[in-house]
Amino acid sequence: MNRFASWWKEGVIYQIYPRSFQDSNGDGIGDLRGIIERLDYLKWLGIVAIWLSPIFRSPMHDFGYDISDYKSIDPIFGNNDDIDELIKKAHQSGIRIILDMVLNHTSNQHPWFIESAKGIPQPKRSFYIWQDPVKGKKPNKWKAAFGGNAWEFDAVSGQYYLHSFLKEQPDLNWRNPDVEEAIFKELSFWLEKQVDGFRLDVINLIVKDEAFRNNPFAWGQTIRPYDMQQHIFDRDRPETHEILKRMRSHIDTYENRMLVGEIMVEKPGNPRIVASYQGEDGDELNLAFNFSFNWLPMKAKTFEQTAQIWYESLGLQRWPCWVLSNHDVTRAITRFGNQEEKARIAAMFLLTQKGTPFLYYGEEIGMKDKRVTRNQIQDPVGKRYWPFHPGRDGQRRPMQWGPSRQFCQSDVSPWLPYHPEHKKNNVETQIADVNSLLHMYRNLIAIRNHDEALRIGRIKFLQHDIPDVLCYVRESEALIRLILLNFSKKEREIPSSLIAHALGDPSFRVLFNTRQDQIQETSDSIILRGYQGLLLCEGE
């Protein structure tokens, strides 16, 4: 494969929620062969890798985030031959494969836990976190993220086991070196199959306080008991960093592989904690998700300040990554009022920052959220905790390929209903319209893929007094690019002197424009129209 020696730094990565991407066998559920069928589209889009949400064998209490066999594909998605073919054909198309690994916990149907639960003398007992009752009650007051207490009583042994999420998701005991060795073998199984990397689910939770101290109380605007604790003893323990260093060393024995981690933090997030999991010397995770932009209001100054904090937190040794949407949060376009013009500005921000952009399937066509009705809920979390948690089905609806049933390619109903707009907003319609959001994404990705300054160059935000406008420069040794983003519906004047100073040249060329109309110039400025973004370079 020739695309980018440091592919995880330089290319755009595309997240697929496999249930919702493409159904190849007419059962209403997306699968691996469906993804194979859509590789040409992904190559056309210009992405360098796909991250697949969990596809391993699972009883699906949390739709795959409860793994019962790390080495087996769940029959819902296909089989091991299908993933082998996907890896091979994706590589032939210049696309890498990243698998979602859940390492904090397994399913309670995993053979390790089944053996562990047989009783205290079992060899696998210490693979999980078991504790005696304390004064006849639970070992401590830790809460589970999906509701209730984090401890489940086992009548066979008279002990409790820990589950940070559902009771069907018992936490592994990473203080046991045998667990680390076993997990590294599971990773090697896929690395030998030429998988290019792993996304690590809630990786900062894997080590718990050895003394099981209670978390302090936290004040907050929430009705969720989990959020009423400061999670200092059930996550972010210092031993986690040593484990990640060893994991990174293990991954690095294979050529050109990567680790990207989900770091679970409270809103509005703590970028410094997130950055710490890449290691002080960049020797832990290759990338770590900073979710600050998953709930920010769309304001220029807020975006700039948050980006600056992220860059400062990482320093020069660690590489940033950027994400606006994923399978757990409301899609960005919906957070921005379902307005495409705002989505265009957000997309240009995402694709012109220093670091690795992640796209969520359908983001490139402006797929929107819409909650399903109560009787349509599929998300186990929504079923269990409605109405306090409506579930995550809204952001997981089937990919909108065309006005007809192109997700299923049959008369069967998909596992979730299509978004009501799917007939007018879809890939087929947008491919036919060169001015569509999809073409904007594709064109900007193509520019990025061929532009050293945008892929790996430095970034500098420019100081100015123009309201609602972001101005920043991307620069490599040979190239300089100026990005102007208007976060307002009002026109804004950009002084020619600012452009000349940024580019080192009084003349400029437009490399990219989020709008189709011509640039309006005055004698000493250019006019940025409402929600317009420009990418400029020096020269006539």
Could you report the per-residue pLDDT of 28-43, keeping only the tens digit for each? 999 999 999 999 999 9
DSSP state of 418: P
Report residue 221's pLDDT band, with 50, 70 and 90 as the boundaries: low
**Whether residues 440 and 500 fall in one domain:** no
Question: Is 196 contained in some domain?
Answer: no
What does the pLDDT read at residue 1?
58
The mean per-residue pLDDT over the stretch 82-89 comes to 98
Q: Mind giving me the DSSP string for 280-326?
A: TTS-S-SEEE-GGGGS--S-HHHHHHHHHHHHHHHTTTS--EEES--
With H, G, I as helix, E, B as strand and everything else as coil, classify residue 71: strand
End residue of a domain, out of 446, 475, 492? 446
pLDDT in tens, 280-306: 999 999 999 999 999 899 999 999 999
Question: Is 282 contained in some domain?
Answer: no
Average pLDDT of the chain?
95
What does the pLDDT read at residue 32?
98
pLDDT in tens, 301-331: 999 999 999 999 999 889 999 999 999 999 9
**Whether residues 435 and 487 fall in one domain:** no
Tally of domains in the chain: 2
Domain that holds residue 524: 458-538
Amino acid at 251: I
What does the pLDDT read at residue 411?
85
What does the pLDDT read at residue 266?
82
Structure tokens at 359: 């796209």
**Whether residues 296 and 378 fall in one domain:** yes
The mean per-residue pLDDT over the stretch 450-454 comes to 97
Q: Say what the pTM is.
A: 0.97
**Cα Rg for the chain, rounded, in angstroms?**
24
What does the pLDDT read at residue 195?
98
**Whether residues 430 and 308 fall in one domain:** yes
The mean per-residue pLDDT over the stretch 409-424 comes to 92
**Whether residues 332 and 309 fall in one domain:** yes
Query: Which residue in 82, 171, 180, 262 is the catalytic one?
Result: 262
Report residue 2's pLDDT band, with 50, 70 and 90 as the boundaries: low
pLDDT at 373 over 60: yes
**Whether residues 317 and 359 fall in one domain:** yes
Q: What is the largest CA-CA distance in the chain?
A: 84
The mean per-residue pLDDT over the stretch 154-181 comes to 97
**Whether residues 14 and 37 fall in one domain:** yes
Q: Which CATH number does the domain housing residue 314 bear? A: 3.20.20.80
**Whether residues 407 and 484 fall in one domain:** no
Question: Is 238 contained in some domain?
Answer: no
pLDDT at 219 over 90: no
**Whether residues 365 and 305 fall in one domain:** yes
Question: Is 389 contained in some domain?
Answer: yes
The mean per-residue pLDDT over the stretch 163-189 comes to 98
Can you tell me the distance from the alpha carbon of 335 to that of 330, in angstroms, rounded to the nearest whole number?
Answer: 7
pLDDT at 222 over 80: no
pLDDT at 159 over 90: yes
Q: Which residue has the higher pLDDT, 527 or 220?
A: 527
Q: Mind giving me the DSSP string for 427-456?
A: HHHHHT-TTSHHHHHHHHHHHHHT-HHHHH
Can you tell me the distance from the alpha carbon of 238 to that of 200, in angstroms, rounded to the nearest whole number?
Answer: 18
pLDDT in tens, 127-157: 999 999 999 999 999 999 988 999 999 999 9
pLDDT at 269 over 90: no
The percent of residues above 90 in pLDDT, for the chain, comes to: 88
**Whether residues 435 and 528 fall in one domain:** no
End residue of a domain, out of 421, 446, 471? 446
End residue of a domain, out of 418, 446, 474? 446
Question: Is 114 contained in some domain?
Answer: no
**Whether residues 94 and 18 fall in one domain:** yes
Query: Which residue in 23, 31, 201, 393 is the catalytic one?
Result: 201
For every residue of 476-539, which 3-state class applies, written as one string?
A: CCCCEEEEEEECCCCCEEEEHHHHHHHHCCCCEEEEEECCCCCCEECCCEEEECCCCEEEEEEC
**Whether residues 385 and 491 fall in one domain:** no
What does the pLDDT read at residue 498?
96
Can you tell me the distance from the alpha carbon of 131 to that of 150, in angstroms, rounded to the nearest whole number?
Answer: 12
What does the pLDDT read at residue 158?
96
With H, G, I as helix, E, B as strand and everything else as coil, classify residue 197: strand
Amino acid at 123: P
Question: Is 354 contained in some domain?
Answer: yes
pLDDT in tens, 456-509: 999 999 999 999 999 999 999 999 999 999 999 999 999 999 999 999 988 999
What does the pLDDT read at residue 261?
98
pLDDT at 185 over 70: yes
Q: Is 262 a catalytic residue?
A: yes
Question: Is 492 contained in some domain?
Answer: yes
Question: Is 502 contained in some domain?
Answer: yes
Q: Which CATH number does the domain housing residue 477 bear? A: 2.60.40.1180
Q: Is 201 a catalytic residue?
A: yes
